[in-house]
Amino acid sequence: MHKPRLVYLALPEQRKSGLLSRIVNIRTGASVPEANAMAATKLTEWLELAEVRNVLVAGGNSPLDLYGLIAERPLSLCRLRVFALDEYVGVPLEEPRNCANLMRRRVVEAWQVPETNYFTISSLVSAAAASVQRHERLIQEWGGLDVAILGLGQNGHLGFNEPGSAKDAPARVVHLNPISVEANRQWFSGDYAPAAGATVGLGTLLAARRVLVLAFGPHKTAAVRAMAEGEPTSSCPASFLQDHPNAWLFLDAPAAAGLNRAAPR
């Protein structure tokens, strides 16, 4: 399978000075609503750009309020192509809490994006691997991601790119770590506990021209510190974003509590 080439849009003077090394744009709110308001301002700025067409959206708890804030704004988003980040494997297609159906309600319908511009991954065990590989090929055929909206996993994952994922990892089905399986069980209120997930690859996420990451709560403190201040390593896949010139991390105060440097408000 073709692996996407990482292309960063850094200015020449940034490359020369090394300012991209271990730098992430961080903004901290005193509360989750304040952090989401900051993130909504940045995301609106991006979505208003005429060249932004391909937007990848994450499911889970962290970004849902952000999506709602965007839906409340007078934006014309019918031009967007919306791509799901990942999908639980082994959950029925009709399950309303799977990623495809959740993002259909909270993003596609709420933002008034045509259904024909919405692209998902199958949750069926028999179809997930081929589906997510086709999904990633389609992203590449459309020129890559203009915006990727992500949550930060408690173990530093992005999508279902679990610790150990290579920087250029492609789309695939992943066997999940116990901490992710437990998070899945809680998400589905015990009805399901998927132990596998299909995900867009880390290589495609890192090649996105703009990346917005959300992390809230004290259970994300260690992952935030590893992402923003640790050595870039596959043990915390999100840490590879340190060298991305347009990655933004939005935190509430508890999630930011472990940082050595003060994050701007």
- pLDDT range class, residue 16, cuts 50, 70, 90: very low
Question: Which pair of tokens denotes residue 99?
Answer: 């990623």
pLDDT at 14 over 50: no
Structure tokens, 54:
């391909």
Distance, in Å, from the CA atom of 54 to the CA atom of 147, rounded to the nearest integer, reads 7
Edge-first strand order for the sheet with 25-29 is 25-29, 247-252, 211-215, 147-151, 54-57, 81-84, 118-119
Cβ count near 225 (within 10 Å): 18
Q: What residues are annotated to the active site? A: 86, 155, 157, 162
Q: Residue holding tokens 């490359």?
A: 15
Q: What is the pTM of this model?
A: 0.90
Kindly report, residue by residue over 162-195, the tens digit of the pLDDT: 999 999 999 999 999 999 999 999 999 999 999 9
Domain ranges of the chain: 52-256
* Domain spanning 52-256: CATH 3.40.50.1390: no
Map residue 36 onto helix, strand or coil. Answer: helix
Name the pLDDT band for 23 (thresholds 50, 70, 90).
low
Query: Given this model, what pLDDT does residue 8 score?
Result: 32
Residue 208 in tokens = 């996105």
State the Cα angle at 197 between 126 and 136, rounded to 5°. 80
Q: Cα separation of 111 and 105, whole Å?
A: 9
